[in-house]
Amino acid sequence: MPKMTFTFSKKGLMRYISHLDLMRLFMRAMRRADLPLKMTEGFSPHPKLSIKRALKLGLESDNEEASILLKELIDPVEFKERLKKQLPEGIEIKHVERNFN
């Protein structure tokens, strides 16, 4: 199962977004970018997204880590470009790499 690990920054007004809202923001942006997301099974399917640590409200960060499971392979550059177009000002994707687990 391909897994994309990416680093992102959270700055400006986005520093006031909560961790749960940040998770929802990434899930919606990834759906709009039409990425091949691996969904959980069960009653309420959702993408298998994880953000390494939750920042306190109001803090900015340059180097947050997250990962998402995909159904199929996609080029990391294409992943970054498609996702970048869907993210609001203040959230920037810095680096993307593909992992296999």
Residue 51 token pair: 């953000």
Share of the chain above pLDDT 70, in %: 99
Instruction: Evaluate if residue 10 carries a pLDDT over 80.
Output: yes
Tell me the pairing of strands 2-10 and 61-69.
Answer: antiparallel
pLDDT digits (tens, 9 = 90+) for 34-78: 999 999 888 998 899 999 998 889 999 999 999 999 999 999 999
Provide the 8-state DSSP code for 21: H
- Which candidate, 77, 75, 73, 64, places its Cα nearest to that of 26? 64
The domain limits of the chain are 2-100
Residue 73 token pair: 């392979």
Q: Looking at residues 74-101, what average pLDDT do you find?
A: 93
- CA dist 83 and 34 (Å) reads 9
pTM: 0.91
For the domain made up of 2-100, give the CATH fold: Alpha-Beta Plaits (3.30.70)
Contact 82, 34 (CB under 8 A): yes
Instruction: Evaluate if residue 101 carries a pLDDT over 70.
Output: no
> What is the pLDDT, as a whole number, of residue 55?
87
